């Protein structure tokens, strides 16, 4: 091919490419993210729900300062939306007049951010996020302002069946179950929050890979609970770290509705680890909780039957170390009061029900990775009540079976790994 022929071919290729059907089409660009601003007023319900329906991924719905009154549940089913107020004490979403719906705000999509506002007096749960990947609740307050009532909503901040959950610098009060609850979820951080005046302050239920730290739980019936229940879709949680928390004076009345599992929590309970595995509790301050400073138990302690064949009721791989425990167990109530005749007052700082699964023993010995270890908690006292050998009709008669020697439990387990969330320092 001659040089002139080559030049001609290049020219023709360029010509036909330039004349192709796609050449003059404008390049498609993603729609620009918008900020939708809302003001308080008589149309707040319709304006807010319309904004939540019409929002596009990347949009921000911004509430002005003031109180927004709602009569119906709000719902969001759009991925990647931020809902923002002007501050926890400046913007209030009030559901005091709500007459329908099971939550204040219900969210069913991920990459969701809620921040800088208060959600008050929801008929049911204050903020429920269901089945989402990527959830951030930051500087949000969930509360019930009419006092401690079993008719208050069950949960304040309530991600369930979610992944990559961050709850930080939030406040919850007045919940008839748990102020801050994360259930059936994975990859979780709960940090720098305050839970006060709830039945339970913070609950991690049937969840895996959670870091719960730098929180304050006070004046709840129970401060901080990590546990598994049977019959749920997501089973047998594990790898939960509870550290650097202040669990202080959780002596509030238990005002949960009768029949709820949390209604069994003794008023005056600090930290409970129940029927879940691989939990590390360390460097917490646990102080002045009148029933239990800390309890480690199986599901058997509740006396409830279950039919879930995959459920494991025994806590395994539990490591309790380097906590500061003081002032607890002086006025036990509920089932803790019944144990006081067995254990004396003040109650031991760390109470273990002693239930183990002998089917997992090797040559009659429990494998080290399944054991409960208690180490370096200062002068904290300990008791294994051996619940399987206790006479429920005469607890005091079982006193000889109580094991107070801490030495068999003074080993250690490998430290659990830190939880990392995408884009979260």
Segment 325-336, tens digit of pLDDT? 999 999 999 889
Residue 71 belongs to some domain of the structure = no
pLDDT at 391: 74
| pLDDT band for position 7 (cuts 50, 70, 90) | very low
Distance of CA 106 to the CA centre of its chain: 17
- Model confidence at 2: pLDDT above 50: no
pLDDT (mean) for 189-201: 98
Residue 229 belongs to some domain of the structure = yes
Neighbours of 321 (CB within 10 A): 18
pLDDT at 392: 66
pLDDT at 70: 98
Distance of CA 367 to the CA centre of its chain: 30
pLDDT at 399: 81
Residue 134 belongs to some domain of the structure = no
Q: Are residues 90 and 112 in contact, defined by beta-carbon separation less than 8 angstroms? A: no
Segment 76-95, tens digit of pLDDT? 999 999 999 999 999 999 99
Residue 111 belongs to some domain of the structure = no
**Closest C-alpha among 80, 141, 84 to residue 112:** 80
Point out which residues pair with 135 in neighbouring strands: 112, 165
Segment 128-159, tens digit of pLDDT? 999 999 999 999 999 999 999 999 999 999 99
Segment 57-66, tens digit of pLDDT? 999 999 999 9
- Model confidence at 370: pLDDT above 90: yes
Residue 180 belongs to some domain of the structure = yes
- Model confidence at 254: pLDDT above 80: yes
Segment 286-315, tens digit of pLDDT? 999 999 999 999 999 998 999 999 999 999
Residue 133 DSSP one-character state: E
Structural domain count of the chain:
1
What is the Cα–Cα distance from 310 to 230, expressed in whole angstroms? 8
Structure tokens at 178: 């748990």
pLDDT at 388: 86
Residue 425 belongs to some domain of the structure = no
pLDDT at 259: 84
Neighbours of 264 (CB within 10 A): 16
Output the average pLDDT for the chain: 92
Q: Are residues 284 and 323 in contact, defined by beta-carbon separation less than 8 angstroms? A: yes
pLDDT at 401: 86
Residue 228 lies in domain: 144-409
| pLDDT band for position 239 (cuts 50, 70, 90) | very high
Residue 40 belongs to some domain of the structure = no
- Model confidence at 117: pLDDT above 50: yes
Residue 4 belongs to some domain of the structure = no
As to burial, measured by CB atoms within 10 angstroms (0-12 exposed, 13-18 middle, 19+ buried), residue 13 is exposed
Highest mean pLDDT among 6-20, 25-39, 146-160: 146-160
């Amino acid at each position: 091919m001659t040089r002139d022929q080559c030049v001609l071919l290049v020219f023709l290729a360029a010509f036909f490419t330039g004349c192709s059907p796609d050449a003059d089409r404008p390049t498609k660009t993603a729609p620009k993210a918008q900020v939708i601003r809302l003001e308080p007023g008589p149309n707040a319900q319709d304006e807010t729900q319309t904004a939540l329906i019409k929002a596009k991924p990347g949009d921000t719905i911004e509430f002005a300062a003031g109180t927004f009154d709602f009569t119906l549940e709000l719902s969001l089913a759009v991925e990647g939306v931020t809902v923002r107020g002007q501050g926890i004490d400046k913007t209030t979403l009030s559901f005091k007049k709500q007459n329908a719906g099971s939550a204040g705000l219900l969210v069913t999509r991920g990459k969701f951010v809620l921040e800088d506002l208060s959600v008050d007096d929801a008929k049911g749960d204050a903020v429920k996020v269901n089945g989402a990947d990527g959830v951030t609740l930051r500087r949000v307050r969930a509360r019930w302002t009419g006092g401690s009532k079993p008719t208050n909503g069950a949960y304040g901040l309530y991600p369930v069946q979610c992944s990559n959950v961050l709850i930080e610098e939030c406040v919850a009060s007045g919940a008839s179950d748990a102020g801050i609850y994360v259930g059936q979820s994975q990859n979780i951080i709960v940090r720098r929050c305050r839970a006060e005046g709830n039945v339970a302050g913070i609950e991690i239920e049937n969840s895996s890979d959670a870091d719960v730290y730098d929180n304050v739980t006070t004046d709840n019936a129970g401060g901080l609970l990590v546990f598994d229940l049977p019959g749920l879709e997501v089973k047998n949680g594990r790898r939960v770290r509870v550290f650097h928390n202040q669990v202080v004076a959780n002596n509030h009345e238990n005002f949960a509705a009768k029949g709820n599992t949390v209604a069994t929590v003794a008023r005056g309970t600090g930290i409970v680890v129940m029927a879940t595995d691989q939990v590390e509790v360390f460097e917490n301050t646990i102080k002045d909780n009148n029933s239990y400073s800390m309890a480690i138990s199986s599901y058997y302690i509740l006396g409830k039957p279950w039919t879930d064949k995959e459920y494991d009721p025994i806590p395994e791989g539990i490591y309790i170390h380097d906590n500061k425990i003081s002032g607890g167990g002086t006025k036990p109530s509920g089932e803790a009061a019944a144990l006081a005749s067995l254990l004396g007052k003040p109650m031991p700082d760390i109470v273990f029900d002693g239930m183990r699964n002998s089917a997992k023993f090797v040559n009659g010995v429990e494998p080290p990775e399944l054991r409960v270890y208690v180490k370096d908690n200062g002068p904290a006292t300990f008791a294994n009540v051996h619940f399987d050998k206790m006479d429920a009709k005469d607890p005091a008669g079982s006193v000889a079976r109580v094991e107070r020697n801490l030495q068999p439990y003074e080993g250690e387990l490998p430290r659990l790994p830190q939880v990392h969330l995408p884009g979260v320092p």
